[in-house]
Structure 1
Amino acid sequence: MTMEGLVQVAGIGSLAEGRMLLDCGADLLGFPLRLPVHATDTSEDEARAIIAELGPSFCVLITYEQDPDRLVEFCRFLNVNTVQLHADVSADTLAQIRTRLPLRIFKSYVVGRESMSPARFAQIYSPVCEAFITDTFDPSTGASGATGLVHDWGVSAELVRHSPRPVILAGGLNPANVRQAIRSVRPAAVDVHTGVEAPDGSKDPELVRAFVREARAGFAEAAG
């Protein structure tokens, strides 16, 4: 699957919600599990059942799991072939994981937490990752994603310039700002979580449609 122009929506609460998101134009669905800060949207058993129904090609495990054995076991349990890692995991460890399971790995670059420069990060992790995702660190909670906060897009744009791998832009995106974000950063794809949620935390179909529409317009403008 090419990453160009993709929209990922994270935080799937049910099978019905997952199907709705795909109907609204989402390309990938993110399942945040084993998180150090946020509550999860579903249990691990529920996520496994949803992924089995929707198919692993649409589903991405989002996790802070650091232990290679537990991560491989977890991916096998969920039957996912793509994992988005927000933990501090070395490139050597990722290489070891890939020898045990043919995973597509999206490695996070958390703006405000990552000490490595975008150029150095891209150099070290590109050989063992399929893509990078930039997100926002919230020092008040310790969260490295799903913060609803925008980070310095200039840092994300620098990673795009240096990376031979696709970059997914996340962090405080919503229907009102995603188009400008894409024009400014020129990422391969975008990710949204809290920016398309209703007050009760469920995904709002109208917000999702608006986000997808604005993202597609932003990608078209960036390409033109």
Structure 2
Amino acid sequence: MKSIIQVAGIRSLEEAQAIMACGINYLGFPLRLDIHTPDLTEEEASRIIRSLGKRCKSVLITYLNKAREITEFSEYLGTNYVQLHGPVEPEELVKIKKAKKIFIIKSLIIGSVNEKCLVENMRFEPYVDAFITDTFDPNTGASGATGLTHDWNVSKRIVEISSCPVILAGGINHTNVREAIRLVKPAGVDSHTGVEDLHGNKDPILVKKFMEETTKTFDELLNRNPEL
């Protein structure tokens, strides 16, 4: 599959359009969260997602863990892509798949549990379309949008044993994405705070640098080994 490059934490239609102009079409919308406060109202997010249409793969990032709530909310927003950070059970994922054609990305949080527990979470493989590894912040309890990196060797191990694509997140930006991709060899990368200015808005220059470094590194790996 084509490498996934996602920028999360969209705040406006103009911001979304500027990110897409850099060549990025996976945009994350964090809503109904556990720790953080959403950047947008649900109504604003729905308007933006519907305005972007099929040109963009808008991803609902949420801590919801019940199939009915997830499918109804994604329907309201107008997206078939969800990134689940909550403690969802496999049977709920089965219900989602039966109810609606949804691309499910399941988070695996590095730092909140040990590596053995993360490997055990691979039981979700039959029910999801991709995994995303992110970073736990022990000071806030947050498991995403922390701006913190984690032990990439754990993510590398997950990539090696997973039959599903694995997206790498957690403190990724244009200065470290090259090293991260070379070590972990993920199917994609995600950046949130790593492409923001001091006010939390996406910086077009940082987004462009992130995109350039990411695509360059993925191209190098593919040219070196077509099977990667």
Q: Structure 1 residue 71: deviation in Å?
A: 1.4
* Percent of pairs with identical residues: 48
Q: Are positions 1:11 and 2:15 aligned together?
A: no
Tell me if structure 2 keeps the 8 A contact 1:111–1:136: yes
Name 1:61's counterpart in structure 2.
Answer: 60
Name 2:157's counterpart in structure 1.
Answer: 158
Name 1:172's counterpart in structure 2.
Answer: 171
SS in 2 for 1:60: strand
Q: Structure 1 residue 26: deviation in Å?
A: 1.1
Q: Are positions 1:44 and 2:45 aligned together?
A: no
Unaligned segments of structure 1, at least 5 residues: none
Name 1:217's counterpart in structure 2.
Answer: 216
Tell me if structure 1 keeps the 8 A contact 2:57–2:81: no
SS in 2 for 1:155: helix
Tell me if structure 1 keeps the 8 A contact 2:65–2:89: no
Q: Structure 1 residue 43: deviation in Å?
A: 0.6
The aligned amino acid for 1:206 is I
Inter-partner Cα distance in structure 1 for 2:57 and 2:103: 12
The aligned amino acid for 2:210 is F
Tell me if structure 2 keeps the 8 A contact 1:118–1:158: no
Deviations 1:49-92 (A, max 9, x none): 00001015520000001222221211111111010000011112
Inter-partner Cα distance in structure 2 for 1:125 and 1:114: 16
Name 1:26's counterpart in structure 2.
Answer: 24
Name 1:191's counterpart in structure 2.
Answer: 190
Inter-partner Cα distance in structure 2 for 1:128 and 1:62: 17
Q: Structure 1 residue 121: deviation in Å?
A: 2.5
Inter-partner Cα distance in structure 2 for 1:70 and 1:117: 27
The aligned amino acid for 1:62 is I
Name 2:199's counterpart in structure 1.
Answer: 200
Q: RMSD value over aligned CA atoms?
A: 1.3
Tell me if structure 2 keeps the 8 A contact 1:118–1:162: no
- Aligned pairs for 1:122-133 (under 5 A) are 122=122, 124-133=123-132
Unaligned segments of structure 2, at least 5 residues: none
Q: Structure 1 residue 120: deviation in Å?
A: 3.0
Q: 1:179–1:33: structure 2 CA closer, same or farther, 3 Å change rule?
A: same
Name 1:112's counterpart in structure 2.
Answer: 111
Number of residue pairs aligned between Structure 1 and Structure 2: 221
Inter-partner Cα distance in structure 2 for 1:127 and 1:168: 17
Q: Structure 1 residue 108: deviation in Å?
A: 0.3
The aligned amino acid for 2:80 is N
Deviations 1:145-168 (A, max 9, x none): 000000000110011001111000
Tell me if structure 1 keeps the 8 A contact 2:80–2:102: yes
Deviations 1:72-120 (A, max 9, x none): 2111111110100000111121111211121110000000124554443
Tell me if structure 2 keeps the 8 A contact 1:183–1:221: no
Inter-partner Cα distance in structure 1 for 2:196 and 2:35: 19
Deviations 1:119-143 (A, max 9, x none): 4322x11111110000000011010
The aligned amino acid for 1:32 is P
Return the TM-score normalized by structure 2.
0.93
The aligned amino acid for 1:98 is K
